[in-house]
Amino acid sequence: MSRGRDEPEKRSDNATPRQFNNSHELLLTRHVHVVILSGMYVRTVRVPSSSGAVNEYVRVVEAYREQGKVRQRVVADLGRKDLLCAMLPKLRRVLEGTSDAAPEEDLEVLDASTWGPILVLRHLFEQLGLWPLLDEVLRRSKGVPYADRVFALLANRLTCPKSEHGLARWLETDFVCDRQGRRFLPHWHRRGRVRVHHRQLDAWYGTLDRLLAAKAKIEVALYHRLRDLFSLNPDLVLYDISSTYFEGAGPPDFARHGYSRDGKPHNVQVIVGVVMVGGWPIAHHVWAGNRVDHTTVQEVVEDLRRRFSFGRIVFVGDRGMVTQGNLDDFVEEGQGYLVGVKRRRNAKFDEYLDRIDETKWIDCPVGIAGRERKVPFQTRAQEVPCGEPGVRVLVIDSEERRQYEEAMRRRAREQTRLKLEALQKRVAASKKLDAAKIGAAAERILQARHGYRYYTWELRGRVFHFEASPQWERERRMEGKYVIITTEKDLDLLDAVRTYKDLADVERGFRHLKDVLAVRPIYHRVEPRVRAHIFVAALALLVERLLERRLKEAGVDLSAPDALEALATVRLVTFHLAGRPVRRGVSGGSPHAREVLKALGIRDLKPPTPPQDQNTVM
């Protein structure tokens, strides 16, 4: 064994390795006070660079005793740790004596499925208590639990909304597993136009049927869970209605023609009503497509009292949602209301505007969108005399709304004017005068863009004449203004305005239900499946709301859809190294993905380990 010199000189860690004397006899005949205690070992040190970054270096260190004291010396500097890690496979081959030119194909990636969105949705599913709840109400199946299949349907709605056939293709690209870690895989079997095996389709459809049968219990249980988690106050109940259309015939006597909010008057549809409390969707209802909005209100209120045991509630709804009869019923039953007032075909609206006192406007707080502007839009409100006992009238003037309505009015008015001028020229150039055809053409023009609000017309002899409508000034006067009425005498003016504006939250929920979650168009042909399809979308909306809530609490400036898109960069990679068993690992994902995972407190990124020989399920 080599020995050190008699008096080793002092040196820094960066000095060159010491040269040792090979003359054993000389060293043995002299009185040496250096004794090597053990072999060499590896040590890492952190060294700051000139740029301020701190790098970690790897060194081979040897311990020795000198003059009775233990000392260390650096035998070799191996370099930066991160660079060595990158070179580790090649270093290993060199040290083991294998060829340094070993092929890179030793590492074979077998699969890289999207995992991040599923990981996060499983976490939120658990926070809502949906696993035990669904196990209880749906009961166990012989194979995969129904709760796990519901989760797969819900996750598909949020990440890649497809039909049950499209869901099979999604299962090939995303790692979706049950609670045991068994991956759902499609079972392909072509039969006519259907490519998915009927047994797998039956499993999904059977899950939908069971879910719908337990809808009433699930909604109530979830409401109690939300109430405990977020201390919900059920006094204010927000309710709104929308429609969703079908491609094709749809279920008979259920998919009907009615007022389409999707701009699809030729498609049959169903009506969907959503109830929200404290910003959370707690219940939804589905009716035939020709159901009139205001006829649904009493049914919804009765359901809240019966199923959810609500006492006195304040019903918050948009204009057109209620009739005077509905409002009278609320008061008679001891309930309250805060609702919008129709602006057109309503003489009272003009009376309320006449009672405005320009000195009594109160400025409303600026919303989030307004704060992002250099010069925020102004919203102001005031209470005006009503003349009806127990009812308060609040007028709101929104600058943002006025600018929007003014722009829409100018465009519609100009387009209508151009069309009427063109008709005027055609009439003047025509040799034959057909008053009926001219009138029909004029009516088509006025109906197309609400032109009757701006112009009137008449045929004077052989001349087509049009001029400004008497309604013109009224339209300009009401721009930017809306009126709400309420029975709540203790409700502050600004709180009332804020509560009514929360109806936009319900409308945003509908956009998620129909656009983001792709409820529309509906392809199901059986009424129960349509209802179940919408129920899955409603549950997905609830989970998405929870994700938005958690991100907001953590100060993460991402919407739920953006967060799920970022999480798609987190992948579960299955790979194989030559001579070793197949392994899998999870990629870290993008910076936004890591931010979302940190906000939710998710540290363990790995999926559950499946039972032996049970890696997949159908």
29 assigned to some structural domain: yes
**What are the pLDDT digits (tens) for 465-496?**
999 998 888 888 899 999 999 999 988 999 88
**What are the pLDDT digits (tens) for 195-208?**
888 888 888 889 99
Say if residues 146 and 139 touch (Cβ distance below 8 Å): yes
Structure tokens belonging to residue 18: 């010491």
Number of domains making up the chain: 2
Between 30 and 193, the more confident residue is 193
| pLDDT score of 502 | 79
Give the total residue count for the chain: 618
Helix axes 527-553, 560-567, angle to 10 degrees: 90
Give the model's confidence band at 556: pLDDT under 50 very low, under 70 low, under 90 confident, else very high: very high
The residues, any chain, with a CB within 8 Å of residue 561's CB and separated by 6 or more, are 516
**What are the pLDDT digits (tens) for 112-171?**
899 999 999 999 999 999 999 999 999 877 789 999 999 999 999 899 877 767 788 889
| pLDDT score of 89 | 72
Structure tokens belonging to residue 362: 């109160």
180 assigned to some structural domain: no
Between 130 and 243, the more confident residue is 130
pLDDT at 251 over 80: yes
| pLDDT score of 39 | 62
Structure tokens belonging to residue 200: 């797998």
186 assigned to some structural domain: no
Q: Based on C-alpha coordinates, what's the Rg of the chain?
A: 36
- Cα dihedral: 151, 153, 157, 158 (round 10): 20
pLDDT at 218 over 50: yes
**46: which strand partners?**
56
Tell me if residue 586 falls in helix, strand or coil: strand
**pLDDT-wise least confident of 5-19, 46-60, 113-127, 142-156:** 5-19
Q: Which of 491, 513, 539 is the last residue of a domain?
A: 491
| pLDDT score of 514 | 54
Q: Which of 491, 512, 534 is the last residue of a domain?
A: 491
Task: Report the share of the chain in percent with pLDDT over 70.
Answer: 85
**pLDDT-wise least confident of 18-32, 450-464, 564-578:** 18-32
Say if residues 275 and 239 touch (Cβ distance below 8 Å): yes
What's the mean pLDDT when you consider all of the chain? 82
Task: Report the share of the chain in percent with pLDDT over 90.
Answer: 37
* Predicted model pTM: 0.73
- The enclosing H or E element of 68 equals none
| pLDDT score of 8 | 42
Q: Report the distance separating Cα 294 and Cα 323, nearest Å.
A: 6
**pLDDT-wise least confident of 62-71, 380-389, 432-441, 513-522:** 513-522
pLDDT at 29 over 60: no
| pLDDT score of 107 | 73
Say if residues 247 and 326 touch (Cβ distance below 8 Å): no
Tell me if residue 584 falls in helix, strand or coil: strand
Structure tokens belonging to residue 433: 């005068």
Q: Report the distance separating Cα 174 and Cα 102, nearest Å.
A: 33
The residues, any chain, with a CB within 8 Å of residue 574's CB and separated by 6 or more, are 109, 110, 111, 112, 582, 583, 584
The residues, any chain, with a CB within 8 Å of residue 351's CB and separated by 6 or more, are none
Question: What is the spatial order of strands in the sheet that 362-363 belongs to?
Answer: 280-288, 269-277, 236-245, 314-317, 336-340, 481-486, 392-398, 379-384, 362-363
**pLDDT-wise least confident of 318-332, 433-447, 504-518, 519-533:** 504-518
| pLDDT score of 202 | 85
| pLDDT score of 33 | 46
Say if residues 587 and 542 touch (Cβ distance below 8 Å): no
Bond from prior residue into 234 cis (ω within 30 degrees of 0): no
pLDDT at 75 over 70: no
Residue 480's domain spans which residues?
Answer: 358-491
Give the model's confidence band at 27: pLDDT under 50 very low, under 70 low, under 90 confident, else very high: very low
Say if residues 335 and 328 touch (Cβ distance below 8 Å): no
**484: which strand partners?**
340, 394
Residue given tokens 């102004």 in the structure block: 378
Q: Taking Cα atoms as reference points, which of 465, 472, 416 lies closest to residue 439?
A: 465
Average pLDDT, integer, range 524-540 = 87
325 assigned to some structural domain: no
Position 124: which residue type? L
Q: Report the distance separating Cα 525 and Cα 329, nearest Å.
A: 37
Please give the backbone phi and psi of residue 85, each rounded to the nearest 5 degrees, phi first.
-60, -40
Structure tokens belonging to residue 617: 């399920």
163 assigned to some structural domain: no
- The enclosing H or E element of 78 equals strand 69-80
Give the model's confidence band at 99: pLDDT under 50 very low, under 70 low, under 90 confident, else very high: low
Number of other residues whose CB lies within 10 A of the CB of residue 224: 13
Say if residues 36 and 6 touch (Cβ distance below 8 Å): no
Number of other residues whose CB lies within 10 A of the CB of residue 137: 18
Q: Which of 453, 474, 491 is the last residue of a domain?
A: 491
15 assigned to some structural domain: no
**What are the pLDDT digits (tens) for 592-618?**
999 999 999 999 999 999 988 888 887
66 assigned to some structural domain: yes
Q: Report the distance separating Cα 539 and Cα 536, nearest Å.
A: 5
554 assigned to some structural domain: no
Question: What is the spatial order of strands in the sheet that 571-577 belongs to?
Answer: 107-114, 571-577, 583-586
Q: Report the distance separating Cα 305 and Cα 421, nearest Å.
A: 58
Q: DSSP letters along 293-309, please?
A: GGGGHHHHHHHHHHHS-
**269: which strand partners?**
245, 256
Number of other residues whose CB lies within 10 A of the CB of residue 490: 5
Say if residues 428 and 463 touch (Cβ distance below 8 Å): yes
| pLDDT score of 105 | 52
| pLDDT score of 240 | 83
Structure tokens belonging to residue 149: 């299949």
**What are the pLDDT digits (tens) for 357-384?**
999 999 998 765 555 567 788 999 999 9
Average pLDDT, integer, range 493-509 = 79
